[in-house]
Structure 1
Amino acid sequence: MNDAQRLRYSRHLLLDEWSEDLQQRLIDSHVLVVGAGGLGAPALMYLASAGVGRLTVIDPDEVDLTNLQRQIVHRTDGIGRPKVASAYDTLRALNPEVQVQPVHARADDALLAAWAPQADLLLDCTDRFETRHLLNRASVRHGKPLVLASAVRWDGQLAVFDPRVPDSPCYACLFPPDEAPPEVRCATMGVFAPAVGQVGVMQAGAALRQLAGLTPASALGRLVMVDGRTGETSAVRFKRQPGCAVCGSAH
């Protein structure tokens, strides 16, 4: 680290649990973020400001006026532009040291097969059940940690998965791919703006702890639920399923 980096990240370095080696680990890290909307916006900004050295951002959409109520990585003058391009400009202005790779496309198996092996961690910031399962399969297939979140109306959820840890469950253990719930999206159900911010920031925190090697074992197999009406959180535990279609013993 150079002197400018020591100053930029000095408030991390003042933490008893932190060190220059941990900060350098962030600088050397690559995070693949799928989704540059309500969750991706705050998550990306905190990953960039905290010093994650490389961010690949995948999103197929353009900035719309309705996004600006909550998607803080975008600005009014970005309406009509690809979200990944808008996010690129904001993140580079926030921290010019960060390498940002915008990918204006919808995530599919082929795209994730190309990008997931290069990343140290996957971040799911989407609102689609199908995409979550695509990312979960990529996580298990390539042995990459996955931090997954969702938010709609007043409520949010967060979970951390790490296929490198023996007996750790995957997303399909919790939500089997053949049991898709009714589609719930902000565009039709509405969303409280700070709810996505709160969950997106929690998602960034989980990602940074994972990259720094500070994730407690208790964080795995745990679904955190956020109530935007009260600001309270609760959690439920879940276990790896031997018959899981993705990570089960037969696969």
Structure 2
Amino acid sequence: MSLNLSLNNKEQVRYSRHLLLSKIGESGQLAFKNARILIVGVGGLGCSAAQYLAASGVGHITLIDHDHIELSNLQRQVLYKTNHLKASKVQTARNQLLAANPEIQVEAIEKSILDVDLAAQLQATDIVLDCTDNAQTRSVINQACFTAGVKLVSASGINGQGQLVSFDFAKENSPCYACLFPEAMDTGLNCSNAGVISPLLGIMGSLQATECLRLILGMTENLARLTLVDVWQMDFKQFKLVKNKNCPCCQAT
């Protein structure tokens, strides 16, 4: 894969506020342009994360989701509009992202992650964003990223509480998602039956996008830190994670 070595005139204008930042500048914006990101799930989390990554100039974004847009999605899945009802989420999201930023590439895969050759996808991926909402898919994504040595940024949100955590599986001592949740047990709780305040998904998806951009820039101090968000209390807490010596994923021989 050839690298882009410069920004065109439109990109210089579009990303001018990034170019003013010492922590990004032209070199950082070029890193965004050359990055390849995989987003699994374009519901509440994925809609928010994808919009900010696209707006920020991430050069190649792949979206995976098999679902279609329902009226109840519109409360929090802010890429979609009333005229999109019953349409494919990934195809609609792709169109919306390209309408906002035609300078990038967006690939849409209308399949369940369980039906995708994830190992093949990860060969051309720098960072995966897990924006799914059930334990089984989180376990599959975690295992695949660990095996491939690909960075993972995972988030969740329900009711008024959210979680964010990121891992770099190229690092030998990195814990993984299964260290935090060793058993892929599905509690059965999700936005459909437990409810969620709509901006929470925007907050958590934005944090995922921010962490993704930070990782592209080489900012790694937040890796393996669990961030807990409670929007009812406007409270943020962080905890450092360590490798679980009995982890069924990253300690398996």
Relative to the length of structure 1, the TM-score reads 0.95
Q: How does 1:178-197 map to 2 (within 5 A)?
A: 180-197=185-202
Deviation of 1:213 (Å): 1.1
Q: Is the 8 A contact 1:206 1:215 kept in 2?
A: no
| More deviation, 204-213/229-238 | 229-238
The amino acid across from 1:22 in the alignment is G
> Please, which runs of 5 or more residues in structure 1 have no aligned partner?
none
CA distance in 2, matches of 1:235, 1:183: 26
Q: How does 1:1-251 map to 2 (within 5 A)?
A: 1-108=7-114, 110-177=116-183, 180-216=185-221, 219-248=222-251, 250-251=252-253
CA distance in 2, matches of 1:155, 1:96: 34
**SS of match in other structure, 2:166:** strand
> Please, which runs of 5 or more residues in structure 2 have no aligned partner?
1-6
CA distance in 1, matches of 2:153, 2:49: 11
**SS of match in other structure, 1:118:** coil
Runs of 4+ deviating beyond 3 Å? none
Deviation of 1:238 (Å): 1.8
Deviation of 1:181 (Å): 4.7
Give the fraction of aligned pairs with identical amino acids, expressed as a percent: 40
Q: Per-residue CA shift, 1:95-134, capped at 9, x if unaligned?
A: 0011111111100275212212211110000101110111
> What RMSD over aligned residues (CA atoms) do the two structures have, in Å?
1.2
| More deviation, 119-128/15-24 | 15-24
Relative to the length of structure 2, the TM-score reads 0.94
Q: Is the 8 A contact 2:136 2:186 kept in 1?
A: no
CA distance in 1, matches of 2:112, 2:249: 22
CA distance in 2, matches of 1:244, 1:230: 33
Count of residues paired in the alignment: 247
Q: Per-residue CA shift, 1:37-87, capped at 9, x if unaligned?
A: 000001000000000011110001000000001101111111000100110
